[in-house]
Chains A and B, each alone.
Chain A
Amino acid sequence: MSSATGILGRKVGMTQVFNEAGLRVGVTVLEVGPCKVLQVKDVENDGYYALQLGFGEKKEKNTSKPLQGHFAKAGAKPAPYVGEIRLAAAAEDKQGEEVTVSIFEGVQKVDVTGTSKGKGFAGTIKRYNFQRQRATHGNSKNHRTLGSLGRHMSINKGVPKGKKMPGHMGNAKVTVQGLKVVKIDPDNHLLLIEGAIPGPNGGFVVVNKSIQEKVRKDKEKRPKY
């Protein structure tokens, strides 16, 4: 069994499956792994424990010479997507070994990290769910503006820091925690999870075992007084 607590993959799409009660459940289909371990990182050399994984395939001619060497060292084909899975302790896995979806066998919940769809330069209504202003009753050209920036005079010196304003929205790293695992298909390297995940179909994702679940289990292990 691999000591990896996470794996790389891509979002295939959404569909629905029937659960035991016969109800339809919206699920996201993820293709995860098999990922070759490209490098094992440890405290002595790197300052932390991690597994560097590669997912997918790309042509050798599209890979730089230094990276070609890096992949070759692990006996892996060039991968377009390389990422790290942080570990709490030294990894049992060796370079070149494979991590598959079976690491989620018996796991109830996972966290999924992806890159959200870009929305471009967005106003505060779309970006932060601000309210819009009145359409009529004398409102003059202030329908979707953000309103007051705060009090300026004596208390603050200018606009407060972190004030929510229009700007670029989306195309950012987003993690959704505690998603239920519906089904694991090791033959086709598929993982079905309940609900939506960030990013478009085909987007790369990192799937980790749920951190909330881990915290909860650790709490239960603690002696009670």
Chain B
Amino acid sequence: MSRNKLMQIVESTQLTKGRDVFNIGDTVDIHVKIVEGDKQRIQIFTGTVISMNGHGTNASFTVRRLVGAQGVERVFPLHSPSIDKIEVKRRGRVRRSKLYYLRDRIGKATKVTEKRGLALATSDAPNDDPRGEAVKPVQAPKKPSADA
């Protein structure tokens, strides 16, 4: 077998499936497994996805949140088994692949990421529901005058 095939065999065992699909600019809840001694508990880290990096087993993403006025960023390996669940709270509408400009902003200015499909999110708020295994990406109805 070719070397590439063999690598794929190894790497395919490392990918986790059935996670929520999310994108840059989304607000997400990351449920992280934390082991303390022989006990395990879940900690939730909520924030905005400001960057996604790499592919395959190497893929990772960065979540930024504000604690008081202090920005906190955490980088997670996308396929890490210590992530129990990823919940998408809010879809963001962004035009960059890296939202590093949020680092220079505090308070309300960090909320520049708009809701995509405002009507959808406010009507029955499906994004706030805990999501199941299969995930349909939220198809946002085009805002009538987004930039107006």
Binding site for B on A (CB under 8 A): 12-13, 15-18, 21-22, 24, 29, 31, 185, 188, 190, 192, 201-202
Contact = CB atoms under 8 A, between A and B. Distances in A.
28 contacts: A12-B7, A13-B3, A13-B7, A15-B10, A16-B14, A16-B57, A16-B58, A17-B14, A18-B14, A18-B77, A18-B80, A21-B35, A21-B82, A22-B80, A24-B77, A29-B6, A29-B7, A29-B10, A31-B1, A31-B3, A31-B6, A185-B10, A188-B6, A188-B9, A190-B9, A190-B10, A201-B3, A202-B3
Contact of A18 (B3, B9, B35, B79): B79
Interface string B51-69: 0000001100000000000
Contacts of A31: 1, 3, 6
B116 to A, nearest CB: 32
Contacts of B9: 185, 188, 190
- B interface residue count range (under 10 / 10 to 19 / 20 to 34 / 35 or more): 10 to 19
Given A15-B57, A18-B81, A24-B77, 4 more contacts: A15-B7, A21-B82, A22-B81, A202-B3
A38 to B, nearest CB: 23
A15 B79 contact: no
B19 interface: no
Greatest chain A CB density within 10 A among B6, B7, B58 is at B6
B6 A22 contact: no
B33 interface: yes
Interface string B19-54: 000000000000001010000000000000000000
Contacts of B13: 17
A201 B4 CA distance: 11
Contacts, number: 46
Contacts of B82: 21-22
A16 B13 CA distance: 11
Contacts of B114: none
A29 B124 CA distance: 49
Contacts of A188: 1, 6, 9
A17 B7 contact: no
B11 interface: yes
Nearest to B32: A22
Contacts of B58: 16
B6 A190 contact: yes
Nearest to B35: A21
Contacts of A22: 33, 80-82
Contact of A15 (B1, B11, B77, B81): B11
B59 to A, nearest CB: 11
What are the 5 tightest A-B residue pairs by CB atom distance, in nearest-first order?
Answer: A22-B82, A12-B6, A12-B3, A22-B81, A18-B81
B9 to A, nearest CB: 6
